[in-house]
Structure 1
């Protein structure tokens, strides 16, 4: 067994995570005898737990609320991570792979695969171009959704947030991306959009009036949540509502690339077969 054979997903809460099934299916298809666990890690203890990992550890998938902590812990970050201020994939020093040219080998390096996961999931649904996007929420996943929308051509964004102050980093990010952006409060008469991306935590229940206002002229709903499904917002949506399982699948494929090749850009051997195995593990086929 390779020295660095251990991986896990960290987050809080974490019991609902499907990452072990996804990654386990990928490594079985690739013939790798690696383990992938699930660990509940509270934000205040993230740095201390990271420091305890030994050379058996290859990498971590990171979910809420740890993505900003993982960003700060990274000695190098890919472009999408730098833009969003969020890392969901840590490649650890024990991994004996070629890293990007200027990335150190003796410290954790970080990637954001959520952006690519959103782009690929939307493409699966035939959404490959848009002009105006509506982002619901103002956290790390909202930043990834905004970057993903920019990558498929969005020029305008409306950000629905509880307060203008919380949305300020997203406004700055939109400016960096060359997008016009505005903030709208929940319950407002929202500007029409070609696509609405909901990046609220799974299980969030909005007042019905707020959900119905969002559903008006919002285009298809892409809700990054997938448990429980339908989400409250999806249950009120008047058009197409798309769960976040596709994002989960595609971002995990990119994570497997990182853990096996050191690069998010390097395709896996037999990647179509690996993706199919991961999809089957996800949906139970």
Structure 2
């Protein structure tokens, strides 16, 4: 049995992270009583020192903002998936001492959508153009057979999204944020914006919308997700993404199958406790 039994999530800010809840629930269900999963407040300046000081007991790391790109120069290699968006959210420490980076956000998005019956769409819309939007485009490279319209606020963001589209092989069309009402008629809408950014769009939800994937999980539901659900349409939330990407992390770090349902229930319970 390997002596590796430690893992953690790093980022700044990190206090809000649900990752410890999900990973610890998995360890408990899997009988990994010696395993621990913690959270550490680490910024870009502190990251090299933190990684350098890790000993052989470490199995892996989860990374959130602002570290997903900063970690790359500190690794021995990264997966094609991580390279496609220049972002690593998972580091696994191998038995021979290598540090390998991966991105489980992208397959996590695909898995969350497929779980809700979204396997292929002919077109899609992405609201926003930040780091999560590039992961959304990478997921859509697998799921969308036609154009993806990105609704953005600035010319610089438009250029970024065009660049990601070219890199990922996705036909990205650009539209101004002022036209975002039109996004809601797409078969699949992925909202990657901060809390409150899409609230004004809630009144524009069509009578029979497609599927909404809103990457937020707190507060939940967003105004847009609430109205979408009222219309009787499919809604995938940020907790779905968080759970699916965490399942993949647990499996990579432990080498065992992770308990999806148990992890989701733990996340739901933690969010319910926070809201009271």
TM-score normalised by the chain length of structure 1:
0.82
Matched with 2:260 is: 275
Bigger helix share:
2
Matched with 1:122 is: 113
1:44–1:158 CA distance, 2 compared to 1 (3 A): farther
User: Number of matched residues?
Assistant: 263
Residue 252 (1) aligns with residue 237 (2): no
- Secondary structure of 1:66's partner? coil
CA shift for structure 1 position 214: 7.2
Which of the residues 148, 157, 161 maps onto 1:157?
148
Unpaired runs of 5+ in structure 1? Answer: 97-104, 262-267
d(CA) in 1 for partners of 2:197, 2:24? 35
d(CA) in 2 for partners of 1:10, 1:86? 14
Does structure 1 conserve the Cα–Cα contact (< 8 Å) formed by 2:18 and 2:267? Answer: yes
Q: For residues 1-285 of structure 1, what are the structure 2 equivalents within 5 Å?
A: 2-32=2-32, 33-92=34-93, 95-96=94-95, 105-188=96-179, 190=182, 192-201=185-194, 204-206=195-197, 209=200, 211-212=201-202, 215=205, 219-235=210-226, 237=228, 239=231, 240=233, 241-261=235-255, 268-269=256-257, 271=258, 274-284=259-269
Does structure 1 conserve the Cα–Cα contact (< 8 Å) formed by 2:124 and 2:144? Answer: no
RMSD value over aligned CA atoms?
2.6
d(CA) in 2 for partners of 1:108, 1:158? 36
1:74–1:232 CA distance, 2 compared to 1 (3 A): farther
- Secondary structure of 1:130's partner? coil
CA shift for structure 1 position 259: 0.5
